[in-house]
A and B are shown apart, each in its own frame.
Chain A
Amino acid sequence: MKIVVAIKQVPDRDAPVRIDASGKWIEESGLQFAMNEPDAYALEEALRLKEAQGGEVIVLSAGPERVGTTIREALAKGADRAIHITADDLGTRDALGVAKLIAEAIKPESPDLILTGLQSEDLGLGQTGVILAELLNLPHASLILHVEATGTGLKVKRELEAGWFQEIELPTPAVLTIQSGGNKLRYATLMGIKKAKTKEFRAVSAADLGQSSAPTVTLGQIALPSKQRSTQILSGSAKEAAAALVEKLKFEARII
């Protein structure tokens, strides 16, 4: 099975966020970046399918040069080769604009399966995979935890709300968006990191993939959210704060 996994590099979860001078995005200088978590699960699922079925795993990522480190990580974990869509202006494209780039880059590969994470930890749009399916005219399923090849197609486990699940059968080629938690993620081994350096790593510029059309949806300002409840912050040393909290829970909230 030939599998393309679209992965995204996002600001590290624990990185402090500061709004930049434009007020439209966060300050990226000095920020740590990491592989978007659901994408890491998508890669894991792809690697397991390949181990079971044979085939090839191609990782694909769009973004500026820094994205290369996340692509290398995917190669070190076991992807066979990589495509980097180089673009410094992804922020000016909407979800459809980005998906069009990815779709164009995927087309010549004609994969049997395309996996993406179900959403990114930064923009959280949760749309790229589903739009890809539409653009490539392929069947899709989203929020997938497990994928099984059946010979004629795929049987997948889809998460529903509130602890419910559902099985879906679909033919290949197909697009799936992967939810976190279906597998245990592997670490890159030293051997894998070494091997990654020799694997094919192809860059294609966004401009070569087609004209960018005007976005239909634009992000204006970003801001810190406002509070829904007034929080009493209990300060002092850990011991003082703990003692103050017990007081509050006992005499103010009367819970303990």
Chain B
Amino acid sequence: MQFTSVDFQRNVSKALNDPFLQQALQRGMHGFVGKRADAVSAVPEFEQLRDEARDIKNHTLTYLDYYLEKFEASVTRLGGHVHWASDAREARELVLEICRKAKAKTITKGKSMAGEEIDLNEALEAAGHEVVETDLGEYIIQLAKEPPSHIIAPAVHKTRDQVSDLFHEHHRALGFEQRLTEVPALVDEARQVLRRKFLSADVGITGANFLIAETGSNVIVTNEGNGDLTSTLPRVHVVTAGIEKVLPTLEDMTVLMRVLARSATGQEASTYTTVFSGPRRAGDRDGPEEYHVVLIDSGRTAILGGEFQDILRCIRCGACLNHCPVWGSVGGHAYGWCYSGPMGAVLTPLLKDLEAAKHLPNACTLNGRCEQNCPVRIPLPALLRKLRHRQYEARLTSAMTRYGLRLWTFLATRPALYRLAFAAVARSLRVLGGRRGALSRVPFAGGWTAGRDLPVPQGTTFQSQWRARNES
């Protein structure tokens, strides 16, 4: 996909002025928050489960080399193959090579964020394979030639009407003449089209929600069952997964599974949670003959052991997106890469490009709802603040902001001067604001006042109120 994080500001104004997007966000997003809240309040154990989920992930990251080697040994014992990719290019080449050897014509894909991250579809198509996304949301955006806008609801930015148009345009050649408009009919038509693809695919590529070291398994969680069909029907199954996906045992996975379903969609269990271990066994009547896992580093080891390690606990549930006021207003595309919302604002600068993605950590109100809802307790606001700090140190922050911050630091470390200066500012703003009590233009803040007025401060400053309170 095109990487457009550098255009964040332009992307945002486009998103805010896109009536279809705004309509889709309004219709699509309101359910998530309530459903999660209901599911969570139904189980008194939830907060305890979050602690355990965090601790299990931390434990695994501390001994990541051990668990990856264990996983590799377990997969090999079952007759599967583990491949290691140090970067995105290598990951693409490994998958391409497997597909080339399999003489794959048609490749079905289950939703995989790791696949998005390494631009797998483009590479496979360029090599002449027909690639078909099978998660309905991913399929819709594949037809629209767009990247996903949400990690678990990739087409949430599309209205039903837009989906109707896309299906009508692309399915006509397959014998579906009528333009359908109702959700059940649209889902059914996609089912028929994709069923043919499932049955004719030579290779199936999926991601993994979890890898299990002890048993050599990859776990896939879906509601549609597309991950299962992708993993079962073709002759070759390829799993693409980040190295941080590994967990020690099925017992550990169970904790993550319990918090994932509730945090993502408010379900107690997703419809399909499948533990896949290796290729088909002697006597099996179905299942792939070859089983490959491509373990992807691509920037993760650089995060490990450092001040951003917490983000490696992320299980891609989408809760932080669903609870983010910024994501809710602009959707996912504005962020410019496959990851969006709070987790995307942390991951994109770290995995992709600190400089090009410099706007993302700043597009945050630090309201903290993401952290409150994160099933593995990732301190997202703190990580975003640390990224801002890192930008400042790397001199990526704009000159004006840097001067502003330096001026503020100068004053803030001199309390008497600070009090004088801010009392003066408040007074002059009051004078300038006049009877309206608001300013429509403020020097150096044109970007902010372009869209709204600045209300002038009322009454005395916080510091003098505090002093008065403590004296009385």
Judge: A and B partners, yes or no. no
